[in-house]
Amino acid sequence: MLTGCRRNEIVTLKWEDVDFEHDEFRLRDAKTGGRMVPLSPTARKVLAALPRQPGNPWVISGSAPGSRLGNLNASWGIVRKKAELEDVRLHDLRHSFASRGLSLGESLPMIARHLGHNKVQTTARYAHLARDSVKTAGERVAVSLASEFGAFRDYIRTYAATET
């Protein structure tokens, strides 16, 4: 949720690829190739708080020694239930990352980089998620223009009255 990464990118993350000094981690074998992922202060705090299993290279370790967690479905089900998010899929968090970025005014190319998309057109699929934000922004612009127009209209009336 805090990085926009795919599920598999997180479950295959190794501690050797986490760089706390530069607040980023490396994805060596992501879907669209390797890339660096920036860590926000919140994501950094979450990652730093995860327990490390001696001899286990994986950030999210499995139950067997030296293994990684392979399936998040059971864990995600518990989280969803506690958070009362009955119909939220794990991948929906990635969509939320993208749509929130759009609603905050981030550009499609910037969001594409965060998500690891090679093509901005792929990221553009998420643009529909920001419709409400676009509508709200349009309303704010219209209200602003209307107030300016009202002041402009009053100025013209005053100016016209003094010229006649």
Helices and strands: H and E segment counts in the chain: 7, 3
pLDDT of residue 56: 96
Q: What is the pTM of this model?
A: 0.71
The reported pLDDT for the residue numbered 160 is 67
* pLDDT value of position 146: 75
pLDDT beneath 50: ranges in the chain: none
Domain(s) labelled CATH 1.10.443.10 in the chain stretch across 1-88
The domain made up of 1-88 is a member of CATH 1.10.8.60: no
Query: Which pLDDT tens digit goes with each residue over 86-133?
Result: 889 988 888 888 888 888 888 888 998 888 888 888 888 776 655 666
C-beta contacts of 126-134 below 8 A and 24+ residues apart: 126/95, 126/98, 126/99, 126/102, 127/102, 129/95, 129/98, 129/99, 129/102, 130/99, 130/102, 130/103, 132/103, 133/102, 133/103
pLDDT at 50: 93
